[in-house]
Chain A
């Protein structure tokens, strides 16, 4: 091998080896939310959720397009986007954080409980959250789930008095992802 070629090979490969990351990701995770109020229960599901996990550091990020939430009732979906989430202004919800105590976390075939902490941005409002989740291996895949409650008012989403019996002040969110090695 000529010397220059070898130099170039090193130049290209070495940084990749040093800085290449062990990344798992998906673009088709799901988030479901449930609102249970005296008059009605409302449910929507989003199957366009992106999630990325850095296996070296335990850093984790989620991104969900707000318009990806599908409701059974099309008018509810329109109101969700137009009146509550203002999707034109705030097109996505983002979580950016990490799995706590990553160095002590051993992912196995059976689910283990983990704690997730980071910042959640919805409707343009960013808040620090800490929630629990589960993570496990399944063949090549890493699977994860988490379920937690979101207080709507925390994210400056206003529920008018006339619909307060239709929409819950606190909604439950269920997240499920299957991550593949990048």
Chain B
């Protein structure tokens, strides 16, 4: 009898008093971590994001002139160096794009793919790994005295290859590193190397749901020529619906990889740094929902 009462007591305690207990809690199942960054660029550097499937993203990367002349040219605003970028998300892992820069009248074709995705939860895969490559085509008219370029189209080409390895630590902090190889088919002097290795670090600190502070920095491996400066940028993201607006200060004039990683020359102390902005707009081919549903 003693046991009987005890058993009833236990049953009452164990009984599913709360209907919610009937739901298995499988919300812990790992899912891909989304929105590590607002945009596909951190500032200059490639972020862990690509346009979502069936989404066209058009971006204008605008860099003003150097701020060194102060109010005379309103901190460089009379001058502009632009890159247009059109990118399309084919799947949630693959995007292709094309860009065109003022700097050296360079076209670039790019591929950016998510090889591994960070998964949520303690058991999830801890980082995302992306592969980025581009082919740059310098289309500037070259003088007759520049026979190397005139002679072969191949001399106009350059390549960038990157792995982007990063982690969204929480809703606030995302960090990534970018081992980078840049290959130029034609170099200015024979002392210059065709293959340049560097490593980038980049991150964002999200202050509100729609605002974050971002930065990136590239550290070269091996020797560079005298004018070379390590490329850096600091900026902020402002998101409004389908737009991401990024405002920055950087020491690089161009917005393709070869330019902001290997051709940055600006020095903060001398004022040869540039204000700029990226503005992106997305267009969904899937369309928004028609009013007739």
User: Which A residues contact B (CB, under 8 angstroms)?
Assistant: 10-11, 14-16, 18-19, 21, 23, 25, 27, 34, 36, 40-43, 50, 52, 54, 59-61, 63, 65, 67, 72-76, 78-79, 81-83, 86, 88-89, 91-92, 94, 96, 160, 162-163, 166, 182
Contact = CB atoms under 8 A, between A and B. Distances in A.
What DSSP secondary structure best describes chain B's contact surface?
loop
Contacts of B92: 74
Contact of A72 (B8, B20, B288): B288
Contacts of B290: 41
B35 A78 contact: yes
B240 A163 contact: yes
Contacts of A59: 19
B16 interface: yes
Given A11-B4, A15-B8, A163-B240, A50 B23 contact: yes
A96 to B, nearest CB: 6
B23 A41 contact: no
Given A50-B23, A83-B210, 10 more contacts: A11-B4, A14-B4, A40-B289, A52-B22, A72-B289, A73-B288, A74-B92, A75-B282, A76-B288, A83-B209
A61 B52 contact: no
23 contacts: A21-B16, A41-B288, A42-B289, A52-B23, A54-B19, A60-B19, A61-B22, A61-B23, A63-B20, A63-B23, A67-B31, A73-B288, A74-B53, A74-B92, A74-B286, A75-B52, A75-B55, A78-B34, A82-B209, A83-B239, A89-B171, A162-B241, A163-B241
Contacts of A40: 288-289
B34 A19 contact: no
Nearest to A166: B241
Nearest to B12: A19
A11 B284 contact: no
Given A74-B53, A75-B282, A81-B34, A23 B289 contact: no
Nearest to B292: A41
Interface residues of B, number: 39
A71 B3 CA distance: 55
Interface of B: 3-4, 7-8, 11-12, 15-16, 19-20, 22-24, 27, 31, 34-35, 52-55, 89, 92, 171, 209-210, 239-242, 282, 284, 286-291, 293
A88 to B, nearest CB: 6
A157 to B, nearest CB: 11
Grouping DSSP codes into helix (H, G, I), strand (E, B) and loop, the A interface class, with mixed when no group exceeds half, is mixed
Contacts of B15: 19
A52 B4 CA distance: 30
A73 B286 contact: yes
A168 to B, nearest CB: 12
Contacts of A41: 288-291, 293
Q: Max chain A CB contacts within 10 Å: which of B8, B16, B242, B289?
A: B289
A12 to B, nearest CB: 8
A85 B241 CA distance: 15
A88 B22 contact: no
A16 B31 CA distance: 38
A138 to B, nearest CB: 21
Nearest to B290: A41
B242 A82 contact: no
Contacts of B8: 14-15, 18
Contacts of B242: 75
A73 to B, nearest CB: 5
Contacts of B210: 83, 160
A48 to B, nearest CB: 9
A15 B53 contact: no
A35 to B, nearest CB: 9
A25 B131 CA distance: 45
B26 to A, nearest CB: 9
B201 to A, nearest CB: 24
Contacts of B291: 36, 41
